[in-house]
């Protein structure tokens, strides 16, 4: 197949080296996208809620059996179509309808980014509080967290992280996205290892490790399986056009199969190490691992305050979280940026400035809905923030995953050639995409959107 870099349609830039990843840069950027708040903020508390080690095993199975095939499908579509998450689908199928489905994932990425930035902002605030020691002047961390949310600080930090994200993307794929991931990911690994050693050397860490690694299968249910699958999708950044968009910047010589494996291992290793930090820490200090979204911002500060050199370790922990969030935000912002550049022919600079500001504005109600400034932003039993998370993570994301799965499994005949797998792997991949993934993803969708209940 002729490489479309040569024939042109990649945002109208013919053969533009600035808009391509190197092989290692691509893998790091994709790992950066996958590794994010999901691994460190969401994964530990859902693991706590749904049965510890048994849940972790389910997560690994879902990641391998469904997550990786869909990840490869997204990469293949991106590289084959060489467009944004909508035009790639149109180009490869010759049908506008697929582009419409793709467009929904682009909207999804934009909206996820709008509230993801709010949480990313919290991490920077908490890093500052920790390093300056202010975090430990308090005793009631739940109160501290709700007072913080009632102030204007979350909006300030949300603005800062959006600016940082825009600042990286404005420089382009090679000089921006790739370069920053090459700095941030090694930094992330070092921080992760330092914190892991710290957590595991705490006295009594074993109990937390056991909770995380000793499975109790009686805790498993159909519900935990669906939550695990939904999280495998979120964690690999699937269904939001992010991986598809990155795929468009990948060289034809890159083995997509190996890249998929590397991204999967990277994401899993990170989740594993995050568990080894969070569970021992919470157990040693007698905190509740299943307490929900407040785990990282409420329970962990209490642990850091009691730990020797807690200000430093706490600060490093929140910096780690901020790095992880930033590399995911970069991949999310690139999705709509790629779209508007191609659709309207705008320059990268203009597209990034416009979408960064727009996304900040769209995120404002999310940030404000968690304080007491705007009670009207809570309706139907959920805050605006929770609604955004609910709609994106539970409806748009599984639907986006389903679209890609069906597209590669049934609609696009050139997928096998583009993926470049050997016969045996190809058969397995197609089998998963045609028969296994769609059914499971549909179940997740029905369950997480509330249509199917247990
Ligand atoms: N994978 C990211 C995380 O775990 C979230 C994300 C989802 C990023 C979808 C991009 C697209 O935090």
Q: Compute, in angstroms, the gap from residue 231 CA to the centroid of ligand 1.
A: 10
The pLDDT tens digits for 111-145 are 999 999 999 999 999 999 999 999 999 888 889 99
pLDDT at 293 over 80: no
User: How far is CA 369 from each of CA 366, 377, 388, 389, 402, rounded to the nearest angstrom?
Assistant: 5, 5, 11, 13, 31
Confirm whether 8 is domain-assigned. Answer: no
Whole-number Å distance between alpha carbons of 77 and 245: 9
Residue 218 domain-assigned (yes or no):
yes
The answer to whether position 4 is within a domain reads: no
Based on C-alpha coordinates, what's the Rg of the chain? 21
User: Which residues does ligand 1 sit against, CB inside 6 Å?
Assistant: 33-34, 36-39, 112, 234-235, 237, 240, 242, 328, 331-332
Residue nearest to atom 11 of ligand 1 (CA): 237
- What is d(CA 207, CA 195) in angstroms, rounded to the nearest whole number? 17
Please name the residue whose Cα sits nearest to atom 5 of ligand 1. Answer: 237
Q: Which of 30, 116, 237 to mutate to test the pocket of ligand 1 (most atoms within 8 A of CB)?
A: 237
Question: How many structural domains are present in the chain?
Answer: 1
Where is mean pLDDT largest: 12-16, 112-116, 282-286, 388-392?
112-116
Residue with structure tokens 């307490």?
291
Q: Which of 144-153, 157-166, 385-394 has the largest mean confidence?
A: 157-166
How many CB atoms within 10 Å of residue 283?
23
Residue nearest to atom 9 of ligand 1 (CA): 237
Closest residue by Cα to atom 8, ligand 1, is 237
Q: Give the pLDDT mean for 136-159.
A: 92
The closest of 137, 87, 148 to 297, measured between CA atoms, is: 148
pLDDT of residue 26: 97
Q: Which of 192-201, 202-211, 284-293, 438-447 has the lowest mean pLDDT?
A: 284-293
Contact by Cβ (8 Å): 441, 401: yes
Instruction: List, for residues 386-412, the tens digit of each pLDDT value.
Output: 899 888 888 899 899 999 999 999 999
Residue 118 located in a structural domain: yes
- Residue 5: inside a domain, yes or no? no
**Owning domain of residue 273:** 13-448
Q: What is the mean pLDDT of residues 68-82?
A: 97
Whether 2 is in a domain gets the answer no
pLDDT value of residue 42: 86
Q: What's the pLDDT band for 222 if we cut at 50, 70, 90?
A: confident
Whole-model pTM? 0.93
Which backbone phi and psi does 82 adopt, to 5 degrees? 50, 40
Is residue 3 assigned to a domain?
no
pLDDT category at 14 given cuts 50, 70, 90 is very low
Nearest-angstrom CA–CA distance, 352 and 344:
13
Instruction: Tell me the CATH number at 188.
Output: 1.20.1740.10
In the chain, the percentage of residues whose pLDDT exceeds 70 is 96
Token pair listed for 311? 């200000």
Residue 166 lies in a domain: yes
> In this structure, which residue's CA is closest to atom 7 in ligand 1?
237
When pLDDT is cut at 50, 70 and 90, the band that residue 10 belongs to is low
Q: Which atom of ligand 1 is nearest to the CA of 234?
A: 7
């Amino acid at each position: 197949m002729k490489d479309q870099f040569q024939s042109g349609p990649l945002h109208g830039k013919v053969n533009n080296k600035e808009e391509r990843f190197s092989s290692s840069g691509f893998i790091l950027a994709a790992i950066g996208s996958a590794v994010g708040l999901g691994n460190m903020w969401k994964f530990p508390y859902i693991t706590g809620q749904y049965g510890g080690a048994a849940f972790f095993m389910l997560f690994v199975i879902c990641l391998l059996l469904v997550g990786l095939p869909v990840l490869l499908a997204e990469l293949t579509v991106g590289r084959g179509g060489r467009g944004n998450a909508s035009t790639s689908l149109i180009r490869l199928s010759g049908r506008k309808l697929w582009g419409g489905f793709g467009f929904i994932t682009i909207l999804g990425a934009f909206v996820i980014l709008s509230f993801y930035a709010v949480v990313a902002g919290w991490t920077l605030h908490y890093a500052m509080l920790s390093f300056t020691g202010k975090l430990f002047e308090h005793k009631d961390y739940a109160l501290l967290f709700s007072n913080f949310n009632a102030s204007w600080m979350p909006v300030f930090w949300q603005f800062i992280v959006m600016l940082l994200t825009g600042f990286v993307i404005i420089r382009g794929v090679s000089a921006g996205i790739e370069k920053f991931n090459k700095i941030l990911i090694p930094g992330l690994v070092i921080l992760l290892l330092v914190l892991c050693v710290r957590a595991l050397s705490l006295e009594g860490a074993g109990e937390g490790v056991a909770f995380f690694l000793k499975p109790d299968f009686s805790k498993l249910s159909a519900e935990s399986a669906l939550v695990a699958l939904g999280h495998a999708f979120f964690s690999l950044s699937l269904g939001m056009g992010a991986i598809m968009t990155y795929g468009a910047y990948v060289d034809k010589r890159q083995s997509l199969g190996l890249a998929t494996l590397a991204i999967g291992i990277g994401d899993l290793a990170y989740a594993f190490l995050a568990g080894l930090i969070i569970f021992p820490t919470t157990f040693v200090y007698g905190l509740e691992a299943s307490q929900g979204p407040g785990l990282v911002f409420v329970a962990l500060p209490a642990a850091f305050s009691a730990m020797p050199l807690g200000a430093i370790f706490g600060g490093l922990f929140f910096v780690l979280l901020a790095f992880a969030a930033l590399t995911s935000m970069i991949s999310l912002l690139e999705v709509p940026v790629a779209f508007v550049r191609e659709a309207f022919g705008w320059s990268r600079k203009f597209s990034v400035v416009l979408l960064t500001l727009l996304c900040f504005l769209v995120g404002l109600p999310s940030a404000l809905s968690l304080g007491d400034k705007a009670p009207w932003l809570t309706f139907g039993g959920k805050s605006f923030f929770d609604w955004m998370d609910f709609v994106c993570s539970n409806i748009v994301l599984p639907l986006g995953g389903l679209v890609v799965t069906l597209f590669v499994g049934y609609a696009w005949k050139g997928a096998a050639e583009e993926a470049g797998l050997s016969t045996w792997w190809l058969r397995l991949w197609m089998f998963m995409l045609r028969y296994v993934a769609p059914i499971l993803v549909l179940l997740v969708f029905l369950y997480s959107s509330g249509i199917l209940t247990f």
